[in-house]
Structure 1
Amino acid sequence: MASSRDRQRKLARAKLDRQMARRAARVRRRRQIQAGIGAALVLALIVVGSAWALGAFDSDPKQNTAADEVCLWTPQDATGNTNLKDVGTPATTGLPTEGTRAMTVTTNQGAPITASLDLASAPCAAASIAHLASRSFYDNTKCHEITAEGALRCGDPSGTGLGGPTYSFFDENVPTVPEPAPSASPAPGQPPAYPKGTVAMIANPPGANGSQFLLFFKDFNPAKPVYPIIGKVTGGLDVLEKIGALPTVDNGNGAKVKPKTDVVVQSLTVGEPATGASAPAPTGSGAPASPAAN
């Protein structure tokens, strides 16, 4: 009996030893795996840290475009103003902010009037006019006013002064006029805020620009400028001056500003952006003289 019990004890001991050995082996394998994972994590952190220090994760500077940082197209409620026309909104990315764009206004009054839109000073106005022109927004519309300031007002399909697209945008390039010192006379030879040939936006209310613009056929120098300058006439200034000399009649609101002869914009087109040389000076009969000569 004693030998049988001893044999059983030995077998049980051997079984326990095997179990302990397997457990120890599993623990060793687990520790090896954990050590390997830890080493891999440390190595990965070292690599990532080195890459970060060398600037591998620095993002490229974003391009400074009008849509990303300048332009904001504010929706206008067409239900409250039936004079608004929905033709969508301009693009919000990739808008040019350098150089110029050529604008051509063909009317029923003679040769086309050409202008250069300033993309650096008024990128949103240029983008808006180009968008509207691509939708034939201006075609076959009337220039409804010859203003007392000496400008032809166009761009409102309704002819009321209240029309435009279903969006608006803020002023960009309103000129500033230095306030004169007390008892001081104006500086001799100071150029006007709006020289003859200036192209500017006009809005009602001011600051909510849409589609309406002014083509100045006379110098205008107000005490407080409010019209954003967007470009200048480069051709057909003589045609513009001829239009400015047309007689006017009551526009229905008590103001004698409506051209007696209809001035119809048959088409308005805007060319592709151009960079490099600055826009040429206005041309045509009656081109504006240099400021020094005024």
Structure 2
Amino acid sequence: MKRLLGIVLAAAVSGAVLTSGTASAEPAPPRVTHGPCRYTETPDEPAARPVPLPPDPRHTPDRGQVDVAVLTSQGALPLRLDRAEAPCTAQSFLHLAVHGFFTRTTCHRLTAHPTLKVLQCGDPTATGEGGPGYRYHDELPTTLPPAPSDPTGQRRIYSRGLLAMANAGPDTNGSQFFVVYGDSTLLPNYTVFGTVGAAGLRTLDHVAAGGIQPDADTPPGTPPVDGKPVRTTDLQLVLPLCVRCAS
């Protein structure tokens, strides 16, 4: 399954490389940063665009909010990151933004299901399988309200205007993120790290109103509920409005 909410985790492949003589060389272990975020290189899932591992200071910035100006082909999508709620996620997002990782990329997924209304972005390949070449741990939300319609009591409401990370399972965060344009019901398995501004909600409503492109699996006469948006949404500029954002 791709990440939501995207990237399918590839099975780890290990093996020896023959060298001169009879000795063999094992693949080098993935690089890992030494701070609390422990950003970990993913050699089996190389970066869709070259980008170094994020800075990982001993004390990750965990106070305040950071505004990020996002200009899309469909309008403004201003974001506000919450460092207190998800410091490692905010640090990674800002790092990718200042390195131009998100600029000139296409939001590849729109959902219009009754319980899931999101636009997903952050993959330079626009396939749902691209990432930054590293992963890091979850910072899962603990204060989301329960979904009244869920008899198990496990699902939560990701409300309109939230900004969250897509993933392919526990601790597989990378670069793909989603913005919620309508209250959605999900297990609380997706890190929330900010919100979308009022202008951004208008942009999301415009994109959602355009609908979803049908594919070969869409039954005739049935509006698709998951796929590429009809109104192509390119991230033309992603610019943090702060000094030394990712330090």
* TM-score, length of structure 1 as denominator length: 0.60
Residue number among 98, 102, 110 corresponding to 2:63 in the alignment: 98
Q: Does 1:150 align with 2:122?
A: no
Structure 1, unmatched stretches of 5+, are 1-66, 187-191, 275-294
Equivalence for 1:213: 177
Matched AA of 1:171:
D
Distance 1:230 1:97 in 2: 11
Residue type at the aligned position of 1:233: V
169-178 or 203-212, which deviates more: 169-178
Q: Which amino acid aligns with 1:160?
A: T
Provide the C-alpha distance between the structure 1 equivalents of 2:46 and 2:243, rounded to a whole number of angstroms. 33
The residue type equivalent to 2:188 in the other structure is P
Indicate the residue corresponding to 1:228 in structure 2: 191
Verify the 8 A CA contact 1:164 1:211 in the aligned structure 2: yes
- 1:163 lines up with 2:157 in the alignment: no
Bigger Cα Rg: 1
Aligned to 2:73: 108
Residue 232 of structure 2 is aligned to residue 265 of structure 1: no
Deviations 1:74-122 (A, max 9, x none): 1111xx4466333101112164111111122110112x11121110111
Deviation at 1:179, TM superposition (A): 7.9
> CA 1:247/1:205 → structure 2, altered by over 3 Å: closer, same or farther?
same
Note the C-alpha offset of 1:249.
Answer: 1.6
How far apart in 1 are the matches of 2:190 and 2:109?
16
State the partner residue of 2:27: none
SS of equivalent to 2:100: coil
Matching residue's letter, 2:203 = V
Cα deviation, 1:243-266, whole Å, max 9, x if unaligned, reads: 122221246787841112311000
The root-mean-square deviation of aligned C-alpha atoms, in Å, is 3.0
Q: 1:74 corresponds to which letter in structure 2?
A: T
Closer, same or farther: CA 234–142 of 1 in aligned 2, 3 Å: same
Q: Deviations over 1:205-234 (max 9, x none)?
A: 443011111110001123x22211001112
Q: Which has the higher strand share?
A: 2
Distance in 1 (CA, whole Å) between partners of 2:83 and 2:133 is 23
Question: CA separation in 2, counterparts of 1:109 and 1:168?
Answer: 30
Q: Map Cα deviations across residues 153-210 of structure 1 (whole Å, 9 max, x no partner).
A: 0000011111110111111033466889xxx898xxxxx6211000000012443011
Q: What is the one-letter code of the residue matched to 1:227?
A: Y
Identity of aligned residues (%): 32
SS state of the match for residue 238, structure 1? Answer: helix
Task: State how many pairs are aligned.
Answer: 197
| Structure with the larger helix share | 1
Question: Which amino acid is 1:126 matched to?
Answer: A
3-state SS of the aligned residue for 2:197? strand
CA contact (8 A) 2:65 2:82 kept: yes
Distance 1:273 1:252, change over 3 A: farther
2:144 is equivalent to residue 174 of structure 1:
no
* In structure 2, C-alpha distance between the alignment counterparts of 1:95 and 1:271, rounded to whole Å: 19
Aligned equivalents of 1:152, 1:194: Cα separation in 2: 13
- Greater relative contact order, per chain length (Cα 8 Å cut-off, separation 6+): 2
Of the three residues 105, 125, 128, the one matched with 2:92 is 128
Distance 2:131 2:180 in 1: 20
State how 1:12-23 maps to structure 2 within 5 Å. none
Query: Quick one: distance in 1 between partners of 2:216 and 2:171?
Result: 25
